[in-house]
Amino acid sequence: LYKYRHQYPQNFKDIRYQNDLSNLRFYKNKIPFKPDGVYIEEVLNKWKGDYEKLEHNHTYIQWLFPLREQGLNFYAKELTTYEIEEFKKTKEAIKRFLLAYKMMLEFFGIKLVDKTGNVARAVNWQERFQHLNESQHNYLRITRILKSLGELGYESFKSPLVKFILHEALVENTIPNIKQSALEYFVYTIRDRRERRKLLRFAQKHYTPSENFIWGPPRKEQSEGGGKAQKMPAPPTSGHISQTSMHKKSKDSKNSSSAVHLNGKTAEEKKVAPGGPGEEKDRPSAEPSGEATKPRNTEDSNGENSNSELEKTVPSPTEQKESTASPEKEEDGDSHSKDPEDPGTADAPDDGQS
């Protein structure tokens, strides 16, 4: 997500002239999306309101909300900067893109109320919120939708949606299971630093219990290239194992790390059990309390980035954060992994800024 917010500036290949503009041609109703063979007009007209189809089909979302990243549907092509420019200049494509956004909002129980991106509860919100609270793979879809909005000229639509979701999760308690994804993914799709801080302050104000609100992740345990293990605070799911293994010789550090990873995976699987795959529920009380003053950015990354690449953006060991792979990849190809945000753009509260 750090790379996304900064227009993928490092080591990102943008093949401007080899792209066949398939995303734009799909939105111009000239080609169907693959592998289903369905045109955009049919999706917008016949799939709207068909919640069973929208829930269980996992190939359309990459076409409706394209990104500059390869998803699991290998038929869907990545956006390029050239295609983005052409897309923004094509009125029929933009019109259909907004209709697709409205269709998905309705699927979640939300409606778009004006041209500035403000949203509210839809008529069917009770039924759909209950579904959204239990069907957690949709949180991954929301992350993709937010990122695609930003790529195709609707960055301003993202904050109203994230604020609405935070309000429903933390204040109204209608979709409590979404709060972790909202705080660790949705917020960090927003490119404007001040907007992110506003959302985090709102969340901190309404988070209960307030003492469990965490502004940052645990620190990185060890680099992914076989570097020396670093001493760590006890991970929430297996603290006794970690504390014991910290005092062993370095040759035992790999075994300790593996034990913690397996234990953590077990806990994540238990959290996923009540709902759909691919997203874990929030467990704020399990977070180490010693990190309460750091910026919350535990999922601020792209799933494809390696730790070694991200460490280049962290000038000091004290600013390195934990990088933990998600138990599952999302259906559109972005795994919800945890990497550090650039320390120069950290989202910690700043009394001098709003």
104-137 confidence digits (pLDDT tens) = 999 999 999 999 999 999 999 999 999 999 999 9
Whether pLDDT at 274 is above 60:
no
Mean pLDDT check: name the lowest of 19-33, 158-172, 311-325: 311-325
What pLDDT, on a 0 to 100 scale, did the predictor assign at position 227? 43
What pLDDT, on a 0 to 100 scale, did the predictor assign at position 179? 94
What pLDDT, on a 0 to 100 scale, did the predictor assign at position 247? 41
What pLDDT, on a 0 to 100 scale, did the predictor assign at position 256? 41
What pLDDT, on a 0 to 100 scale, did the predictor assign at position 35? 95
**Taking a C-beta distance cutoff of 8 angstroms, is the pair 153, 94 a contact?**
yes
Over range 328-334, report the average pLDDT: 41
For helices 91-108 and 137-151, the axis angle rounded to 10 degrees is 150
**Tokens 């929208």 map to which residue?**
54
Q: What band does 259 get if pLDDT is binned at 50, 70 and 90?
A: very low
DSSP conformational letter for 186: I
Q: What band does 315 get if pLDDT is binned at 50, 70 and 90?
A: very low
Amino acid at 37: G
CB atoms within 10 A of CB 11: 9
What pLDDT, on a 0 to 100 scale, did the predictor assign at position 183? 94
What pLDDT, on a 0 to 100 scale, did the predictor assign at position 295? 39
235 vs 145: which has the higher pLDDT: 145
**Tokens standing for residue 186:** 């949705």
**Tokens standing for residue 202:** 């709102």
What pLDDT, on a 0 to 100 scale, did the predictor assign at position 264? 40
**Tokens standing for residue 123:** 């008529």
What pLDDT, on a 0 to 100 scale, did the predictor assign at position 36? 94
Residue 107, classified by CB atoms within 10 Å of its CB into exposed (0-12), middle (13-18) or buried (19+), is buried
Whether pLDDT at 273 is above 60:
no
Residue 244's H or E segment, with its range, is helix 239-245
Average pLDDT, the chain: 72
DSSP conformational letter for 338: -
Whether pLDDT at 222 is above 70:
no
Whether pLDDT at 320 is above 90:
no
- Sign for the CA dihedral angle at 113, 116, 118, 122 comes to positive
What pLDDT, on a 0 to 100 scale, did the predictor assign at position 13? 66
Query: For 28-76, what is each residue's pLDDT tens digit?
Result: 999 999 999 999 999 999 999 999 999 999 999 999 999 998 888 889 9
**Residue 21 zone, left/alpha/beta (φ > 0; ψ -120 to 50; rest):** left
β partners of residue 111:
120
Whether pLDDT at 330 is above 70:
no
What pLDDT, on a 0 to 100 scale, did the predictor assign at position 319? 38
Task: Return the biggest CA–CA distance within the chain.
Answer: 64
Mean pLDDT check: name the lowest of 10-24, 36-50, 93-107: 10-24
What pLDDT, on a 0 to 100 scale, did the predictor assign at position 216? 53
**Phi and psi dihedrals of 335, rounded to 5?**
-80, 140
**Tokens standing for residue 47:** 């799939």
What pLDDT, on a 0 to 100 scale, did the predictor assign at position 290? 35
**What's CA 321's distance to the chain center, in Å?**
17
The top-scoring range by mean pLDDT among 91-100, 266-275, 294-303 is 91-100
Whether pLDDT at 14 is above 80:
no
Mean pLDDT check: name the lowest of 15-19, 196-200, 216-220, 227-231: 227-231
Over range 11-21, report the average pLDDT: 66
The top-scoring range by mean pLDDT among 203-217, 296-310, 311-325 is 203-217
Q: Which residues contact 200 (CB under 8 A, 6 or more apart)?
A: 183, 187, 215, 295, 296, 347, 349
What is the C-alpha separation between 308 and 314, in angstroms, rounded?
10
What is the C-alpha separation between 337 and 308, in angstroms, rounded?
14
What is the C-alpha separation between 76 and 138, in angstroms, rounded?
19
* Percent of the chain's residues with pLDDT above 90: 51
What pLDDT, on a 0 to 100 scale, did the predictor assign at position 346? 43
What is the C-alpha separation between 113 and 117, in angstroms, rounded?
7
CA distances from 272 to 133, 178, 338 (A): 12, 12, 18
**C-alpha triplet 137, 129, 296: angle, nearest 5°:** 60
Q: How far apart are the first and last CA of the chain?
A: 22
151 vs 300: which has the higher pLDDT: 151
Q: Which residues contact 91 (CB under 8 A, 6 or more apart)?
A: none
What is the C-alpha separation between 235 and 176, in angstroms, rounded?
23
CB atoms within 10 A of CB 153: 14
What pLDDT, on a 0 to 100 scale, did the predictor assign at position 20? 83
